Amino acid sequence: MKGRLRHYWMFLRESLWFVPLLMSSAAMALAVLLVTSGPVLPDGAAELWLVYSGDPESARQMMGALLSGIITMTSLVVSITVVVLTLAAGQLGPRLVRNFISDPQTQVVLGLFMATILYLLVVFRSIGAPSDNAIPHFAITVGTALSALCLFVLLFFVHKLARSIMYDNAVRDVSRQLRASIDLLMPEDADAGKMPPPVPEDAVWFGLGEDGYVQAVDFDMLVRKACEADAVLWLDVRPGHFALVRGRHLAVHPPEACDEAFRRSIREAFIVGTERTPTQDLEYGIRQLVEMSLRALSPGINDVYTALTVIDMLSSALSRIFERPLQVAVLCDKTGAVRVVRNVTDHDGLVRAAFDQIRQAGATMPGVLIRVAEALEALAPYASDEPRRQPLLAQIALIEATGERSDFLDRDREALRFRCRSARDSLSDRTVDCRAAG
């Protein structure tokens, strides 16, 4: 249930309409409140220049001018946002657009402009004829203050968007989101859990019944349904995998428990969509960083320094992962009986996701390969056991083989060999671990 709720919350958080809708609703409610039951203008208020005290005709002219100016600024904000999203999609990758859309500051700025427009509209239409003495003085004053605030917010927004498309800032933001995902999906105090039992030969396999990416799984629901049927489920897919209609995604034992009603109830625990999401996908942030690196290494951009920054951020994320136990593969009911055996990523899969494509794209760039070898060596203090150490050693061997096949200068090839030997020696020294390094 938590995974499903988190998926829906992330859907709302990553939309450009949710926060502006809330802010606009609040602004309209405030406008109606101030217009209908706002405080009465006290005697001598004309001397208080902060509080509007003019006649109805002046009030309508001023509110009309404010409304026109805010609408113009809002169109400017929307235009700037579209331009930045276009640049981000072209230079950083279309999947990075999600990060710009989900930025809370961007949503609040757009919400403020929309809320101000609606507030001014409500107050503007409440101002009567010149002979009408009922003038919402405080409502007009608040509208003036909101319009002034929008001016300063516009400057802040332009500054923020200008910095957001800088490569280093974009890499930092994606890396920060990846660390938050690691902390959520791989808590430090998690139990390693039981060893997953093998799938029985007579287990019944069935698919999810639709094409698409697995976005989220309600594991609590799976455990509950398996407990009700007194069965055990094995999952061959996890969030981030692409499922086909007739694929073999789940296995059930005993076979008699796998009727049509049970299959339908199990499929309801899966959210399948047209794109990957970071809800429960640990590799999502890693692949975002890798995509930025691959685009930086493309001939059209040829920005090696961005690729080096991405490699550093990937090593930081892997060090955070290596310090924690992997996700629990076996889920039990309240009695301790095994109910769900889920597919979880291991250290080898995470290391390959981080460095395989960068190594392949940088096969002709010794600087990139050397930095990857340096990153692997930096992870040596965190590789406290064989499951963590072997993927790093395998990557070093691949880097060394790539360098030997490439047409490098002798000095570059020797530098790569030296770095690979140094990384291999560091990983072979089993006396080094996280606690000693700290």
CATH of domain 193-346: 3.90.1170.30
| Secondary structure (DSSP) of 10-34 | HHHHT-TTHHHHHHHHHHHHHHHHH
> In sequence order, what are the residues at sequence separation of 6 or more whose Cβ sits closer than 8 angstroms to the Cβ of residue 258?
204, 206, 231, 252
Q: Side chain identity at 339, as an amino acid letter? A: R
Residue 166 in tokens:
């800088």
The CB-side HSE value for 110 (13 A sphere, CA atoms) comes to 23
As a whole number of angstroms, the distance between CA 189 and CA 108 comes to 35
Question: Which residue carries 């490098």 as its tokens?
Answer: 408
Among 214, 202, 316, 312, smallest CA distance to 252 is for 202
Q: What is the pLDDT along the chain (438 residues), one digit of tens a residue?
A: 566 677 777 778 778 889 999 999 999 999 999 888 766 555 555 455 566 666 778 888 888 999 999 999 999 888 988 888 888 777 777 778 888 888 888 899 999 999 999 999 999 988 865 545 567 778 888 899 999 999 999 999 988 888 887 888 889 999 999 999 999 888 877 676 678 899 999 999 999 989 999 999 999 999 999 999 999 999 999 999 999 998 899 999 999 999 999 999 999 999 999 988 888 998 999 999 999 999 999 888 888 999 999 999 999 999 999 999 988 999 999 988 999 999 999 999 999 999 999 999 999 999 999 999 999 999 999 998 899 999 999 999 999 999 999 889 999 999 999 999 999 999 987 544 444 444
pTM strictly above 0.95: no
